[in-house]
Amino acid sequence: MHHAVRAARPNGPGTMDDTETSSSEPPSPDGDPPGRERTPRFDLLDPDRILTDDLRARLRGHVLAALPLLGARGEARARVVNDADMTDAHLRYAGVHGTTDVLTFDLSDNGTLDADLLICADVARRRADDLGHPIEHELTLYIIHGLLHCLGHDDKSRDDARRMHAEEDRILTAIGVGPVFAARGEGRT
């Protein structure tokens, strides 16, 4: 189960402020970060090095390929966490005990993508093992799911969930990952 949360950006040691992968391009002449209006920016943070370098690179590549398909402008950051950190964040930000796959923090107030995501590698490993696909596909699903929430998609009703999950699989198929959600044969809200 995931949660989309509208809250202040998590901060402090080991949170989104710890940038591991980011653009080093200089600002554009108008002062905006490079490509802000044209190309969305994505940073994948893994300060505890939970994922291998190769897995991080593949995951980042999938997300960068998906961003234009989302029609998003702006930026997003995803931080990889373990069960313990996700359990703490899930309780702190959503008031729910236990771990979860993804927590989404929609920070935008002007329609431009500005999102922080927490994605749980432990949950992803278990689900990927259960379903027989690579963990990078599961983690990519979590990121796409969170970004879709920030772009106005919802999954509270059965019809909304069906539409949202179809959009996830459309994007995942377009980037060569394939339909991760539909492969589950289950409902997810």
Give SS3 for 189.
coil
Q: What is the pLDDT of residues 37-71, one digit of tens each?
A: 557 899 999 999 999 999 999 999 999 999 999 98
Give SS3 for 24.
coil
Q: Which helix (H) or strand (E) holds 117?
A: strand 113-120
Identify the pLDDT of residue 40: 85
**Cα distances (angstroms) measured from residue 4 to each of 81, 138, 152, 164, 189:** 17, 18, 11, 13, 11
Question: Mean pLDDT in the chain?
Answer: 83
Give SS3 for 27.
coil
* Domains of the chain from N-terminus onward: 38-179 (3.40.390.30)
Q: Which residue from 98, 31, 10, 102 is spatially nearest to 63, judged by alpha carbons?
A: 102
Q: Is the pLDDT of residue 88 over 90?
A: yes
d(CA 9, CA 174): 31
d(CA 40, CA 162): 26
d(CA 89, CA 67): 26
- Non-local CB neighbours of 54 within 8 Å, separated by 6+ positions: none
